[in-house]
Structure 1
Amino acid sequence: MKIVILDRATLGFDIDVDIFKTLGEVTSYDVTFQNQTKNRVKDADIVITNKVVISKEIMDASNLKLICISATGTNNVDLEYAKEKNIEVKNVAGYSSSSVVQLSFAMIFHFVQKLNYYKNYVDEGKWQKSAIFTHIDKPFYELDKKRVGIIGLGDIGLNLAKKAAAFDCDVVYYSTSGKNNNSDYKRVELDELLQTSDIVSIHCPLNENTQNLLNFENMNKMKDGSILLNLGRGGIINEEDLAKVIDLKEIYCGIDVVSKEPIEESNPLLKVKNKDRLVLTPHVGWASIEARKRLIHMVANNIKEFISK
């Protein structure tokens, strides 16, 4: 089997991918641009792609038998046409739940504990000049009894819910599909979740039901001082509206995903005036060392299962 890895760099060079060499003849490219894809996959039996698009045109110009997506999302592959062509498509799921939730809490603690402010206070030499032993001019609070509203109670959302409950938080959720009924947590409608939660965390897929789910009107109703996190998909929050809300009222936002990645210089979130209210990270929630090792193992298993048929 000829195996082609199209975007090796997205997996991180600290992670060993030699396992694929035990499964076939491997050709690896760090980055593949759109105009390079056709030539690179034309002789491949199996292609591994994270974000490189495999379209109808690419499939027609190849002899592909298996497309392995090294991610959970499948929107970079024309699934219907792959089925028509009898090309199997396999993704991976559940590998990054702990990693995403860990970044969620890192963002929560960043805003709750005001560590940046207090670190800077000491680094700038102000503590040694103080007349008293402490300095508490930037109020912070405890998570106990705070309401955490989770949008999308799938594997990641449920992981967050369990860990928030361990901090004695009141957890509620909104089901974007309308089909999730988890008896362990209270299900509420979106407006109630946004208006009553101290922390709102998004962990749902991007689809026709969730595109621009959060907009100026409903975000503007969030509590002053509340925290909004998006570690789901860019596009679930209208970014232009979010930039306006951040500068109009006191809400704090941790954003790991945007509608176009890498982020464009024209993205309104880069122009927010109240930068202390916004933490932007470059889509790293999924990418702990452990999560990426699990991902490679799962992709390899997908290939092994295909070969063994």
Structure 2
Amino acid sequence: MSGYRIVFLDADTVGEVANLDSFSNLGEYIMYPQTQPEEVPERIANQEVVITNKVKISAEVMQSTSSLSLICVAATGMNNVDLEAAHQQNIAVKNVEDYSTYSVAQLTVGVLLQLLHRHDYYNEYVHSGQYSQQSLFTHLKHSFWQLKNRQIGIIGLGNIGRQVAKIAEAMGAEVVYFSTSGKNNDAPYRMLSLEELLQTSDVVSVHAPLNKDTQNLLNYAQLSKMPSHSILLNTARGGIVNEADLVRAIDEGVIAGAAIDVYQEEPFPLSHPYLQVKKRERLLLTPHIGWASREARTLLIDQVYQNIQDFIENHSA
């Protein structure tokens, strides 16, 4: 095992986790905080294993070295790797699945509750001293509704979608879902068409992969089918929701609000439609952090380590 040369191109993407140096147990290990596109060929030269989260590994990059045997993607999505080129050059590509299910589901429910309860407003109200100056024991400017007996529609009922469904059920909500592939029909929930799910759900939560079937799935026409009190959550992939259309829907009162953790371009520019929204309190934005609990990031590294170890053992037998 000691002979393998391993490089991690963008270690900053996983932050400070205790097991980040564990790859040195498998061989000669180099770690770079970040890597720019023009730096990739030099940094993977003579390396046998490349670990990348978001750095692109193109066909040209693979052709620039003859030593590369394995690309480990420190994520689930592998769209940053030219898979066809890797296959043609006999380079194995391994990703990691189901490491952030509980983390993403927790954030999803958390941002939903923030939109419903307006914790930010009430916290500031009390800290500002306004609560101390009023005569009533309570303050009801922003009323909220319970999730009990409400319908939560889940788009994409994979591992994360199912975990969100469990939490929603525990809070008394009724769960329905739409399968973007059309193949997921064995769930213990009602499967609806996308149109019916949008028309009847109080909350719509997106947990689907981004592909040709889901790109721009929720545009203004689709958002307009949702009840005016409804809330949209997207902790899956940015391209599924038309970002300019969502801002329009929020500002026009087509829907009550949205919480977004993922974006078509990450990070997005200062000219992005989300930063132009007029009803800012109705659009809750987080910087793609749903996946990133300490436990999820640690598990991610453990699973990348296991992928490398399995590869080495299979090729040394």
Same fold (TM over 0.5): yes
1:119 equivalent in structure 2? 123
Deviation larger for 41-50 or 182-191: 182-191
1:192-271 aligned at under 5 Å gives the runs 192-249=196-253, 250-271=255-276
Paired amino acid for 1:166: A
Contact 2:17 2:298 in 1 (8 A): no
Using the aligned pairs only, state the percent identity: 49
Check the 8 A contact 2:198/2:222 in 1, yes or no: yes
Q: Give the C-alpha shift of residue 182 in structure 1.
A: 2.6
Match among 284, 304, 308 for residue 299 of structure 1: 304
Following superposition, the deviation at residue 140 of structure 1 comes to: 1.2
User: Which sections of structure 1, spanning at least 5 residues, go unmatched?
Assistant: none
Q: Deviations over 1:114-158 (max 9, x none)?
A: 212211211121111111222122211211111100000011111
Any residues of structure 2 matched to 1:21-32 within 5 Å, and which? 21-32=24-35
* Residue 191 (structure 1) shift: 1.0
CA contact (8 A) 1:66 1:87 kept: yes
Confirm or deny that 1:53 pairs with 2:46: no
TM-score, structure 2 normalization: 0.96
Contact kept, 8 Å, 2:17 with 2:297, in 1: the verdict is: no
AA aligned to 1:29 is: Y
SS in 1 for 2:296: helix
Alignment of 1:155 with 2:151, yes or no, is no
Matching residue's letter, 2:311: F
**Alignment-mate amino acid for residue 46 of structure 1:** V
Contact 2:177 2:197 in 1 (8 A): yes
CA displacement, residues 218-239 of structure 1 (integer Å, 9 cap, x when unaligned) = 1022111211011110110011
Q: Is 2:237–2:262's contact at 8 Å kept on the other side of the alignment?
A: yes
What SS does structure 2 have at the residue aligned with 1:180?
coil
Corresponding residue number in structure 1 for 2:7: 4
1:201 Cα deviation from its structure 2 partner? 0.5
Amino acid at match of 2:145: Y
* Cα distance in 1 between the residues matched to 2:224 and 2:272: 20
Q: Which amino acid letter does the alignment assign opposite residue 103 of structure 1?
A: L
Does the CA contact (< 8 Å) of 1:97 and 1:156 recur in 2?
Answer: yes
Across the aligned residues of Structure 1 and Structure 2, the Cα RMSD in angstroms comes to 0.9
The CA distance in 2 between the partners of 1:183 and 1:11, in whole Å, is: 33
Aligned match for 2:69, one of 49, 65, 68: 65
Query: What is the rounded CA distance, in whole Å, between the counterparts of 1:14 and 1:81 in structure 2?
Result: 32
Return the offset for 1:251.
2.0
Secondary structure of the structure 2 residue equivalent to 1:283: coil
Query: Bigger CA drift: 249-258 or 12-21?
Result: 12-21
Aligned ranges 1:164-183 → 2 under 5 Å:
164-183=168-187
The one-letter code sitting in structure 2 at the alignment partner of 1:225 is H
Q: Note the residue ranges of structure 2 that are not aligned, 5 or more in a row.
A: none
- 2:140 maps to 136
